[in-house]
């Protein structure tokens, strides 16, 4: 029984979009919310204090990486993931499935689970639904995810259908095995952009009465247009009163499309990975700070951004840091990009509360795409 | 005339050691003080906010690196080094000489200056006494250093003597050329561990009435014992009422030896470079965080250290960050190591004020060397 770990209240709606409050064992999350990714028990290049300072309310941790290194039992011995990484707010962990299917070598999938070789040292390992839950219980995240099979984005319908059926059986085993009362277990609806398969997957999972539901299998090769088109109907398959999480998505415009479709939670490595690669997000599109045009530019990345990077440093300074391969460049730009994403969530919530989200969405889309 | 940029008051003495207040255009520095090194306009891996938070009162910037990239004229155009790097406290810049003699290729030294090739792109460049001052005036540091010739630590007496004589002529040219009234120009006494050469160098420089003096040419290959033995007499060659700076030194025990000899300012890359390489400074000696013995250790690096790293994270977490090659490892350990150095300065000042420095010095030496 996991539902007691979580309560979710929808405070305002505008069409399908909603603004809510998600209460978890380690704190409260205003939704819609973006979760910075802390793969290996750290948001790359940032201290928890910096992560908190830009308005982060919930982090994502990667079960696959943490189980391999330093190991979930070690983390449990040291008091759990929150204490280990110095983050006392809510944490969601994924199941490790996506990483096994995208990072690990020599996968053998059966109903039992998936055998693979560690991408770190090649050692043979197995991830089963029970093991995925056990790891996440050791980590002690506020929200755990069921293990699902993630077929390639370009797979044939038959392959996706088999993966969907197996994912349903695995979700049931995860739910059976899960015991932590201070952790909510979310189910994952797969099926790609094929609505029939999404329905096939969602119906039995919804009947199992999980405290929250995710959409998996987006942002894995399909076009943004296909994803944006599929999102409203897919989101509508998930229970109206429960939190909805769109996994691994995406660009700011994708988050806006998700919010419009009724999604509450997002995560993506894009703001931090782009930050490490000198790509900055602004409301008027991305800018590449390595470009020579920024060498003498005294302006901040975004003149109205209240983050530490934008209030203290010029584009010229960031250009210099990346040219000199200085660690502070990735740190400051990861900070700004996350701040940009989180500010977008603040503004989206405010817009939903006042019934102005549709207008806000259209205006931001025009700016992001350079049409204003 | 540079003296107006600086005032220096010695508040307490204990034997040769002194505790003082150095007032500079961008703020006040309590001495003895350690200056974190911000080579390329950043203390590697740390924000200015983090650098300030551990008690840093003055930073060092490297003229050679900044002149090559992004260029001193660009920094001047953007408002000077303080504004460029977001650090509003005092900054000392070196002259670039040491880096030309240690990093650059194909050096040709003449009385005019030194020709060399950039270590970044191989382009031919020249550093003269006038150019060294012009660069530092463009940077706008609070304290600039004269250009000196830095012979190898193992050079013969004749070579060191020639370098000393040339450095005296260059110091005079620097002083002649220097015009910024909001910047103090310090002279550098060379001569290695040869006291006769140090006297030969110090006497004419002292007669030129610089507002502060540095000892160069230590920590370049001589034994720590030879340096510690030479420091008291070398420091005594410098004017008693003016700030004294021991360049590029060193380990915590070297700083204590310097303070005992009457040195006021120190800089060294050791705390940050070691921090990036998983070597932690503690009052009981250094520890290598990559070692397997730290894998399960829930203790902080130093249990009584008030820094952000020690109050939030275990050795086990730092071990994990370095094992996973995560940026946060170098960041947190650089932060701790600098905090350790700066706390040593706080404690040394407090000890001098109460007449307890000799006892403090002996006790800390015993702990650092594992003899307590």
CB B39 within 8 A of CB B325: no
CA distance B97 to chain A (A): 20
The CA–CA distances, whole Å, from B152 to A248, B62, B156 equal 56, 20, 9
Q: What is the DSSP string of B8-56?
A: EEEEEEETTEEEEEEEETTEEEEESEEE-B-TTSS-TT--HHHHHHTT-
Of A41, A77, A317, nearest to B84 by CB-CB distance is A317
Q: Which residues pair with B17 in a beta bridge?
A: B14
Judging contacts by C-beta atoms under 8 Å, the chain A residues touching residue B319 are 70
Instruction: Give pLDDT, residue A2.
Output: 43
Question: What CATH number does the domain located at B3-269 have?
Answer: 3.20.20.105
Q: Is residue A326 less than 8 Å (CB to CB) from chain B?
A: yes
Between A41, A86, A312, which is nearest B312 by CB? A86
B358 touching chain A per CB within 8 A: no
**Tens-digit pLDDT string for chain A (372 aa):** 444 799 999 999 999 999 999 999 999 999 999 999 999 999 999 999 999 999 999 999 999 999 999 999 999 999 999 999 999 999 999 999 888 888 777 689 999 999 999 888 989 999 999 999 999 999 999 999 999 998 887 889 999 999 999 999 999 999 999 999 999 999 999 998 899 999 999 999 999 999 999 999 998 888 999 999 999 999 999 999 999 999 999 999 999 999 999 999 999 999 999 999 999 999 999 999 999 999 999 999 999 999 999 999 999 999 999 999 999 999 999 999 999 999 999 999 999 999 999 999 999 999 999 876
Chain B interface includes A87 (CB < 8 A): no
Residues A183 and A25 sit within 8 Å (Cβ to Cβ):
yes
**What tens digit of pLDDT does each residue of B202-222 get?**
999 999 999 999 999 998 888
The pLDDT, as a whole number, for residue A372 is 61
Determine, for residues A323 and B74 on separate chains, whether the beta-carbon distance falls below 8 Å.
Answer: no
In sequence order, what are the beta bridge partners of A33? A265
pLDDT of residue B1: 40
- The residues of chain A that CATH labels 3.20.20.105 are 3-267
> CA angle at residue B55 from B52 to B61, to 5 degrees?
60
* Residue B237 DSSP one-character state: T
Q: Do A79 and B312 touch (CB under 8 A)?
A: no
Q: Write out the catalytic residue numbers of B.
A: 94, 267
Q: Residue B222: its pLDDT value, please?
A: 87
Closest-CA distance of chain A to residue B88, Å: 11
Please, are residues B265 and B8 in contact by the beta-carbon 8 Å criterion? no
d(CA A31, CA A243): 9
Q: Which of A65, A78, A312 sits opposite B298 (nearest CB)?
A: A78
Domain with CATH 3.20.20.105 in chain B: 3-269
Q: Which residues contact B273 (CB under 8 A, 6 or more apart)?
A: none
Model confidence at B3: pLDDT above 60: no
* Rounded percentage of chain B residues whose pLDDT exceeds 70: 99
State pTM to two decimals.
0.97
* Among B62, B66, B86, B316, the residue to mutate for chain A (most A Cβ within 10 A): B86
Q: Which of A43, A85, A86 to mutate to test the interface with B (most CBs of B within 10 A)?
A: A86
The yes-or-no verdict on residue B326 having pLDDT over 90 is yes
Query: Does the pLDDT of residue B372 top 80, yes or no?
Result: no
Judge whether B7 is closer than 8 Å to chain A, CB to CB: no
Handedness of CA B308, B310, B314, B320 (dihedral sign): positive
What ipTM score was computed for the predicted complex, to two decimals?
0.97
pLDDT attached to residue A71: 97
Architecture of domain A3-267: Alpha-Beta Barrel (3.20)
For B339-363, write each residue's pLDDT tens digit.
999 999 999 999 999 999 999 999 9
CA-to-CA distance for A162 and A271, rounded, in angstroms?
Answer: 33
Confidence check: pLDDT of B88 > 70 = yes
Q: Quick one: chain B helix, strand, coil %, rounded to 5?
A: 45, 20, 40
B5-36 b/e (C-beta count within 10 Å ≥ 16 → b): bbebebeebbebbbbbebebbbeebbbbbbbb
Q: Which residues of A are catalytic?
A: 94, 267
| DSSP conformation letters of B120-163 | TT--EEEE-HHHHHHHHHHHT-SEEE-------TT--HHHHHHH
- Indicate the residue of B313, B314, B330 with minimum beta-carbon distance to A327: B330
Using pLDDT thresholds of 50, 70 and 90, give the confidence band for residue B151: confident
- Calculate mean pLDDT across residues B73-100: 96
Nearest chain A Cα distance for residue B77, angstroms? 8
pLDDT on residue B299: 98
Structure confidence at residue B2 (pLDDT): 43
- Is the Cβ–Cβ distance between A147 and A132 less than 8 Å? yes
Residues of chain A contacting B316 with CB distance shorter than 8 Å: 70, 74, 78, 84
For residue A294, the 8-state DSSP code is: G
């Amino acid at each position: 029984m996991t539902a007691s770990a979580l309560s979710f209240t929808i405070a305002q709606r505008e069409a399908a979009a909603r603004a809510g409050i998600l209460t978890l064992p380690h704190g409260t999350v205003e939704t819609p919310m973006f979760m910075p990714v802390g793969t290996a028990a750290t948001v790359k290049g940032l201290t928890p204090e910096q992560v908190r300072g830009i308005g982060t309310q919930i982090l994502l941790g990667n079960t696959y990486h943490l189980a391999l290194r330093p190991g979930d039992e070690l983390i449990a011995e040291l008091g759990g993931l929150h204490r280990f990484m110095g983050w006392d707010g809510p944490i969601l962990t994924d199941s490790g499935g996506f990483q096994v299917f995208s990072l690990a070598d020599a996968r053998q999938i059966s109903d039992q689970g998936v055998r693979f070789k560690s991408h770190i040292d090649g050692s043979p390992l197995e991830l089963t639904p029970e093991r995925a839950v056990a790891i996440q219980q050791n980590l002690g995240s506020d929200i755990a995810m069921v293990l699902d099979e993630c077929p390639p984005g370009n797979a044939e319908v038959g392959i996706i259908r088999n993966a969907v059926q197996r994912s349903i059986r695995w979700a049931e085993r995860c739910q059976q095995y899960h015991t932590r009362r201070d952790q909510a277990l979310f189910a994952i609806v797969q099926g790609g952009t094929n609505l029939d398969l999404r329905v096939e997957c969602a119906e039995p999972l919804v009947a199992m009465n999980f405290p929250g539901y995710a959409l998996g299998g987006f942002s894995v090769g399909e076009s943004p247009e296909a994803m944006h088109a599929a999102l409203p109907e897919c989101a509508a398959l998930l229970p109206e009163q429960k939190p909805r999480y769109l996994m691994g998505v995406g660009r700011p415009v994708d988050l806006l499309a998700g919010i419009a479709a009724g999604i509450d939670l997002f995560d993506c490595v894009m703001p931090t990975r782009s930050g490490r690669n000198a790509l900055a997000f602004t409301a008027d599109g991305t800018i590449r700070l390595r470009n020579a045009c920024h060498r003498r530019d005294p302006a901040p990345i975004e003149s109205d951004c209240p983050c530490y990077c934008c209030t203290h440093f010029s584009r010229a300074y960031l250009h210099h840091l990346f040219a000199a391969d200085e660690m502070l460049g990735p740190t400051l730009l990861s900070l700004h990009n996350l701040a940009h994403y989180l500010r977008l969530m603040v503004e989206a919530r405010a817009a939903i509360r006042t019934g102005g989200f549709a207008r806000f969405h259209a205006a931001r889309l025009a700016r992001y795409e350079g049409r204003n």
